[in-house]
């Protein structure tokens, strides 16, 4: 199953594969070269398909959990000053996605969208300390029924050139549902109340829509 944001890229990749394979096997070059080039083309197609895959995730809906919005590795757990929306101290959990991770973004909690904004910006490497404030990004804040607010921020990296965000203000959303996509490597930061109990550790691998980052 592939994400709809990859339809154009996958179609282009298939067309290029057919064209290149035709050229490779029609041009009079040694067979070893034909085989080698064919393998390279097939690997390229595989990488594109791998990147846009959209596996079904079994989110256990709960009003007491905050699930990871994306697949990846937890690279930061710290208290920070959030200046865009809360303008105060929050607990931040950052999940870094490599190019081989699933890049679908999912809603971490069920609730109502209180804030959703896109920011153009730079393309610093995703783990750069200033990436969350200077890179291209989207910020989404969700109102939880328990009166808490959870923010997540999609951040473009050095390779990510497009962030897709489906969250619309005042829209009711469900935990684990598709909320967007980031093309070609990046990171997502989740901002929680400072006293929120954390369920993950640094360098832990997590799955979007399934792994519990924290509990209320």
Do 25 and 90 share a domain, yes or no? no
Label residue 84 left, alpha or beta by phi (over 0 means left) and psi (-120 to 50 means alpha): alpha
Domain range enclosing 39: 4-51
CB atoms within 10 A of CB 114: 17
CB atoms within 10 A of CB 117: 15
Report the relative pairing of strands 178-183 and 104-106 from DSSP bridges. Answer: antiparallel
- The residue count of the chain comes to 216
Do 14 and 91 share a domain, yes or no? no
Do 69 and 173 share a domain, yes or no? yes
Task: Output the domain CATH number for residue 130.
Answer: 2.70.70
Task: Indicate the burial class of 133 (C-beta count within 10 angstroms; 0-12, 13-18, 19 or more).
Answer: middle
List, in order, residues 6 or more apart from 18 with CB less than 8 Å away.
none
What is the pTM assigned to this prediction? 0.84
Phi–psi pair at 7, nearest 5 degrees: -55, -50
Do 184 and 93 share a domain, yes or no? yes
Indicate whether 59 belongs to any domain: no
Do 73 and 134 share a domain, yes or no? yes
pLDDT at 163: 84
Indicate whether 160 belongs to any domain: yes
Residue 186 annotated to the active site? yes
Residue ranges in the chain assigned as alpha helix (H): 7-26, 31-51, 131-134
Do 79 and 119 share a domain, yes or no? yes
Do 89 and 22 share a domain, yes or no? no
pLDDT digits (tens, 9 = 90+) for 180-197: 988 766 889 999 999 999
- Find the catalytic residue in 68, 132, 186, 211: 186
Do 86 and 189 share a domain, yes or no? yes
Indicate whether 41 belongs to any domain: yes
Low-confidence ranges of the chain (pLDDT < 50): none
pLDDT at 59: 94
Phi–psi pair at 42, nearest 5 degrees: -65, -40
Four-residue CA torsion sign, 65, 69, 71, 76: negative
pLDDT at 156: 81
Do 118 and 200 share a domain, yes or no? yes
Q: Which residue has the tokens 């923010």?
A: 151
Do 38 and 117 share a domain, yes or no? no
Do 149 and 117 share a domain, yes or no? yes
Q: How many domains does the chain have?
A: 2
Tokens of 112: 């109502």
List, in order, residues 6 or more apart from 50 with CB less than 8 Å away.
100
Phi–psi pair at 84, nearest 5 degrees: -80, -45
């Amino acid at each position: 199953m592939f994400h709809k944001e990859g339809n154009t890229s996958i179609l282009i990749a298939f067309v290029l594969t057919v064209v290149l394979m035709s050229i490779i096997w029609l041009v009079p070059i040694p067979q070893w070269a034909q085989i080698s080039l064919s393998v390279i083309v097939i690997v390229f197609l595989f990488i594109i398909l791998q990147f846009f895959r959209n596996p079904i995730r079994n989110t256990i809906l709960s009003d007491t959990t905050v699930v990871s919005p994306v697949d990846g590795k937890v690279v930061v757990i710290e208290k920070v000053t959030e200046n865009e929306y809360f303008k105060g101290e929050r607990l931040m959990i950052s999940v870094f996605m490599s190019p081989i991770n699933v890049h679908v973004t999912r809603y971490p909690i069920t609730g109502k969208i209180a804030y959703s904004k896109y920011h153009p910006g730079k393309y610093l490497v995703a783990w750069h300390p200033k990436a969350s404030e200077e890179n291209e990004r989207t910020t989404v804040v969700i109102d939880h029924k328990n009166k808490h607010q959870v923010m997540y921020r999609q951040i473009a990296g050095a390779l990510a050139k497009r962030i897709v965000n489906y969250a619309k203000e005042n829209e009711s959303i469900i935990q684990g549902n598709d909320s967007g996509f980031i093309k070609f490597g990046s990171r997502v930061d989740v901002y929680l109340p400072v006293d929120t109990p954390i369920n993950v550790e640094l360098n832990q691998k997590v799955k979007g829509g399934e792994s519990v980052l924290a509990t209320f």
